[in-house]
Amino acid sequence: MTMSSSSHAGIQSIAEYVPAKVASVGELHERGLLRGSPDTLRSFGFETVHLAGEESNIDMAIAAAEKVLEESEIDREEIGMILYAAALNSSSTLWDGNGGSPNGSVLQLESVPDLFKYPTSIIQTELDLPNASVVGINQLGCASIFAALRMARALIVAEDDLKSVLCVSADKFPAGRHRDLAYNIVSDGACAALVCRGADRNRIVECTQVTKGALWDSEEIENEIIAAYFPTAKALVERTLAKAGLKMDDIALIVPHNVALRSWEILGRLIGCPADRIYTENIARVGHTIGSDNLLNLRCATESGRIEKGDYLLLFTFGYGSNWACMIVQH
């Protein structure tokens, strides 16, 4: 793979890792893994989710990243940076997500040095990327990967010698915990994207993010967060379009996060986007993979022939924290 010396950056390749193990909404309910009504979740468009077994979030991250490196056939020495985006606090540690953590903690702390053991370094060495410096990104919930893509683009534009950045996101939900959050069902999964200088597809046109720090306590003020979701999402989408000099009619496809289909029906109406221009095919089958939804959907939409060269695509997500993130790419 060769890239031009252009100053623009794009998402050249995408790969995902979704655990093979599948559970239906009914099965999750029977196993006590749902807080809410399975009927409501089904009516919101969810059918099955993917559950990690023994594999940790790092295993999933490496699997997705290895896949994207192989499929892109990139020279690994070209990768100058890894941005590892984790939504769950536990995903930025070496905690394996299989339980056993003390109440309130996200990792098994045996000693202080454990606090200095980072997944990103392991990913770098396991993938054999000797020229890649590493940065971990978290605290943006499901919007973490958007921050990674945004920073990758900005760094490539800013640093002449940086050609390719590997963005990886992986999250494994704590075992035995309710998998429905704010009326969405969470899957385990990972994604990886190569952001490259002069990429011949998925040029990153615009990236925006809104953070409402007042809404940081996702448990205590969940209702306020749900209520804030729609007006903030609409405002951000409109702002992103305006910054890009585009209108909603210019967008060929919205590539969403896999939250409730109903919420996309509502948001679609609010932003003036008809349902057939929102790629919702994976919501029922995959559920909400925390940070990996949009890239997974972008790959699926591309492979399904829904996207043509030159199409403008709008990616949108929300992450606890609370963060709303939006991105426009040109395929």
Residues that bind another protein (CB under 8 A): 36-37, 40, 43-44, 183, 212-215, 223-224, 226-232, 234-235, 260, 262-263, 265-266, 269-270
Residue 178 CB, nearest distance to another protein (Å)? Answer: 15
- Residue 234 token pair: 């609409």
**218 phi and psi, to 5 degrees?**
-65, -20
Residue 270 CB, nearest distance to another protein (Å)? Answer: 6
191, β-bridge pairs: 16, 169
Cα dihedral sign, 148-151-153-155 = negative
The Cα–Cα gap between 240 and 189 comes to 28
Q: Taking each helix axis from N to C terminus, what angle separates 261-271 and 222-244, rounded to the nearest 10 degrees?
A: 40
The Cα–Cα gap between 21 and 210 comes to 35
3-state secondary structure of 147: helix
76 or 262: whose CB is closer to another protein? 262
Residue 224 CB, nearest distance to another protein (Å)? Answer: 5
2 or 223: whose CB is closer to another protein? 223
Residues 6 or more apart in contact with residue 104 via CB below 8 angstroms: none
Residue 186 CB, nearest distance to another protein (Å)? Answer: 17
Half-sphere exposure (Cβ direction) of 1: Cα atoms closer than 13 Å = 25
182 or 246: whose CB is closer to another protein? 182
Residues 6 or more apart in contact with residue 207 via CB below 8 angstroms: 146, 149, 150, 153, 325, 326, 327
35 or 177: whose CB is closer to another protein? 35
Centroid of chain to Cα 327 = 12
17 or 229: whose CB is closer to another protein? 229
Residue 272 CB, nearest distance to another protein (Å)? Answer: 11
* First-last CA distance in the chain: 18
19 or 45: whose CB is closer to another protein? 45
44 or 279: whose CB is closer to another protein? 44
143 or 301: whose CB is closer to another protein? 143
Residue 26 CB, nearest distance to another protein (Å)? Answer: 17
Amino acid of residue 153: R
115 or 242: whose CB is closer to another protein? 242
The Cα–Cα gap between 226 and 194 comes to 32
Residue 78 CB, nearest distance to another protein (Å)? Answer: 41
The CA R_g of the chain, rounded to the nearest whole Å, is 19
Q: Decide: 155 and 35 in contact? Cβ < 8 Å.
A: no
Residue 289 CB, nearest distance to another protein (Å)? Answer: 22
Residue whose tokens read 């919205």: 254
Query: Among candidates 151, 145, 50, 42, which has minimal Cα distance to 91?
Result: 145
Residue 214 CB, nearest distance to another protein (Å)? Answer: 5
